[in-house]
Structure 1
Amino acid sequence: MPGFYYPIYFFQLDAIKHGVSVTFSFYSLVILNASNFVGRVTSGYIAVFVGVINLTIVATISCSVLNFGMIGLNSLVSVVVLGVFYGYLSGVYAALVAPLITTLTPDLSELGARMGITAFFVGGIGVLIGAPISGALLTSKYIWWIPAVFSGTISLTGGMVYIIMRSMFIRHQFKSQA
């Protein structure tokens, strides 16, 4: 989660500092948030076919790759492309947090506690520290690659944790059936 919000907080400033007009950079957030909405709405339909865990892994790793892609943000086209893809994939990820925890909870009477601990407490800490760390790494000289690498690495690490979690979940299901 710490790397998840870097593009959302710094996308507009990054676009302005790389020569995109102030007027269009305002609309870059509109593009990002509109595609985020589409990602949130369509993620449930896609998860039916792909699986919640698999789609979460794809969305997380794709978001981390796009975090690294913020390094190359330098034109109007790159702002639009990155905004559409990151917005969509971050929307997919955000919409799948609750279904993911539900999938991993064997006893649904524990769901509220697991949601509170996982999504809100642990995830909240990540959200609270991610953007300020990225801003501090950006510095007043606007060195864009450092926070992009930080956020991409943190997000990629989260994707790897999801892959490990998936393998443990499958192993646990296999043992339960035997």
Structure 2
Amino acid sequence: MDLRTSELPDVVAITAIYREAVLTGTASFELEPPGLSEMQARRAALLEAGYPYLVMESDGSVAGYAYAAPYRARPAYRSTVENSVYVDMRFRGRGVARRLLDALVAETASRGYRQMIAVIGDSANLASIRLHEVAGFSHAGILRSVGWKHGRWLDTVLMQRELGRGDGAPSALAPHAASR
């Protein structure tokens, strides 16, 4: 499997992977899966703002993708990112998510970001919670019953990991984030 920066043609597979996650899972609290043009626009906005957007490819197929995005829009949060990792159901259990997350952490840290937040849909999402634990994330809290999806209330689990110098003195802020 090859890990690389996403390219525009990848968005077709990314859209299909995300569609399945929205329709059947709790990782995303979206209720209706966005179409191809919306997913292209979302990816373009993140890349234009300087955030990494990665894919794992296996024999010409996108096995999964991961990206970093702003944690919050206000300037004080500019050195903090939120991660997203999605894996095609055919490739789950093969270490794709872990490789994507590790690469995303390294790439985001190299760009000067200082904290990464995982906003995990549902406290029953043990696979995602465990993935983040083994990748060095700490539990930061649980927001109980904040989303209604698939006929039930869902929690949001917050996890956090330092990047680079973490919460050391901010001699420099994330270069891409500083311009926002």
Q: TM-score, normalised by structure 2?
A: 0.29
Q: Which has the higher contact order (CA 8 A, sep 6+)?
A: 1
Bigger fraction of residues in strand: 2
Q: TM-score, normalised by structure 1?
A: 0.29
Bigger fraction of residues in helix: 1
The structure with more radius of gyration: 1
